[in-house]
Each structure stands twice: as structure tokens, then as C-alpha cells.
Homo-oligomer: A and B are copies of this chain.
Amino acid sequence: MVSMKDIATACGVSIATVSKALNDHKDIGVETKEHIKQKAKEMGYFPNSAAKTLKTKRSYNIGVLFAVDDHSGLTHDYFAYVLDSLKCTMEARGYDITFINGSSVRPNKMSYLEHCRYRGFDGVVIANTQFSRSEVMELVQSDIPSVTIDHLFNNVSAIMSDNVKGMRDLLHYIYEKGHRKIAYIHGADSSVTRSRLTSFYKTAAELGIDVPDEYIGEAAYRDTKAAHIETERLLDLKDRPTCILYPDDFACFGGINAINERGLRIPNDISVAGYDGIRIGRHVEPTLTTVKQDTLRLGQLAAEKLLSLIEHPKTTIIEQIIVEGEVYPGGSVGAV
């Protein structure tokens, strides 16, 4: 590795001059500066991030935290897209992305916060994790700039998919298709679930449609089996719903299977809708009616907010940013 010292020697100047020249300080003569830069390029110089980080306390590295227990981080379509977008924005700004989680599984177990300090992350993005874990709390309460995705903490900026509007729009869409008997299998308890459920009830009330308790069920996100079972329960009801909403697109497929097994046809006999807008939903028959969350924007805004927090801590406000989704009409909801 060619270091500043090598360049200094080659140019016959001091290391300090090289450092300043490469960092465009004003107190270096133009021609010296050019010469040094030229030489640096020639010699294939690149800075050493460890040394720079050590000295400046800025790593240009962002920690990303997400659930690991069920491996539903990377392999989760929604999150993968958000992360991809986040990553692109960060990279364009010169930051790298490193995973935080798993630190507790390491040989020398560190907490999330300890891991962040160890690596000197400039900031962290927390998504799709068990927000209630004390380890997570400790992290957000620290002085490390952080943003959460789809969860609201005190004094922490959050980027949230607009689940209230998403659910409202979806329900309106279904209502307009003529449905009045709408069941909702919601996900496991979380702030996202609560938002959607509340919005579901509220919108139903506004639309003047009645929701019997038996129309509400629960199945963990992406749990096709649970969705299957709950769907069977709904199908067995004497007053069967005409449309069933699922926690997400994935779970929806579990429901679709249950329906198919009964010999019922979608959307002729019963309609279904998911949530998320995963890619495959556009490519099955019938296509899935769902709410496409704006993953691109979610990742981008999370990145920008965090960078702003890092680079302009004084002038950046802690806020909650809501990103609207969009109903994707699909063949899975028919007119009734």
C-alpha cells in the first residue's frame, strides 16, 4: 500500500503537505497541489480508512440492523428492496454499509451499541427488528445518529410507510368493487400491524360497513401456513366474507391455496388482497391486488435523513417521515 509518506518522499515535501494537498486545503500552492495530486494518482494512492477513521472519528460507514432470528432480513422482499435503495443512496454519498446484527452471536459478544462503537459507525439504520429489545433501545438512546424504518421511537427520526393511507385506499378500492363483507387477517402485533388494523376499522366505519369479530384473524407475516388455517376458518363461516385481506402478499398465497383446495375460484367465488407489492404478485394469475409500498423512496429518505443527521446535526430536525404507497389493482379482487 502506497501511503502519504511515499508520496511525500516522491515529491520532496512533507507528509502534512501531501495530506493538505489531497484534501484541498487552501494553504498549499496550486502547482505543488497539482503535482502532488498527479503523483498520487500515478502511484495509485488511496487513503487508508482505518487511519483516517482513527484520527477523524468519522468512518463513512453506516451500520444496518435488522431481524436475524428468523432470517427474515435479507430474504424479506420488502426489506431487501428498501435496503437496496438505502445502499445506493449511501454509496453515492461515499458511505459504506455494514451489518450490525449478529454481534451477539460473535465470539466476543458485544451488544449492538458496543458493536457500533467498535466499528465507529457514523450512523445506524434500524429496520424490521424486534424494536422492543433492550439492546435496540440502548442503541437508539445513544448519541449515535439513527433512523428507524417503520417504527417510531421517542427522539429518533423514523421513515414510515403510510400504512394508514395504504389500508384506507385498499379498502376503498375493494369497497368500490362492491364488496361489503370484508375479512382481515392481520399480522402479529407491531406498530405496523396496529396502524393497518386501526385504519381498517376506521375506514370500514366511514364506509358504513360492518366488521363482525369473526372476520378478524391473525397470522404472522409471511406465514403461509397460518394464513392457510385462518382462511379455512373464514371459509367455514356461515356468513362467509366476499373478500379477505392478508398481512402481506406472501401470506396471501397461503390463503389462495386454501381457497383453491376448496375448489373455489378467485376472484369469481371470493376475492383476496395482499400487502407489499412483491414482484411476483404481478406475474401470477390472477395478479395480486395489493398495496405497493414505495421501497425506493423509503430507502432513499432513510439514507438522506441519516446523512443529514450525521453531517448537519444542529440543523436537522428529528421527525417522522411518511411515505405513501399505492394500490396495485389486480385480478384477485373481482367485482361483486
Contact partners of A257 in chain B: CB under 8 A: 283-285
Tell me the minimal C-beta distance from A122 to chain B in angstroms: 12
| Pair B117/A91 contact, Cβ less than 8 Å | no
| Pair A84/B73 contact, Cβ less than 8 Å | yes
Closest B residue to A98 by beta carbon equals: B98
Please report the total number of A residues contacting B with Cβ < 8 Å. Answer: 57
Given contacts A73-B84, A84-B75, A103-B91, contact A46 B284 (CB under 8 A): no
Other-chain residue from B102, B118, B254, B280 in contact with A46 (beta carbon distance below 8 A): B118
Interface string of A117-129 (1 = CB under 8 A from B): 1111000000000
Total identical chains: 2
Interface string of A34-51 (1 = CB under 8 A from B): 000000000010111111
Tell me the minimal C-beta distance from A289 to chain B in angstroms: 16
**A59 contacts chain B at the CB level, 8 A cutoff:** yes
Interface string of A76-111 (1 = CB under 8 A from B): 010011011001100111101111011101111010
Other-chain residue from B53, B84, B93, B117 in contact with A71 (beta carbon distance below 8 A): B84
Closest B residue to A97 by beta carbon equals: B99
Contact partners of A120 in chain B: CB under 8 A: 48-50
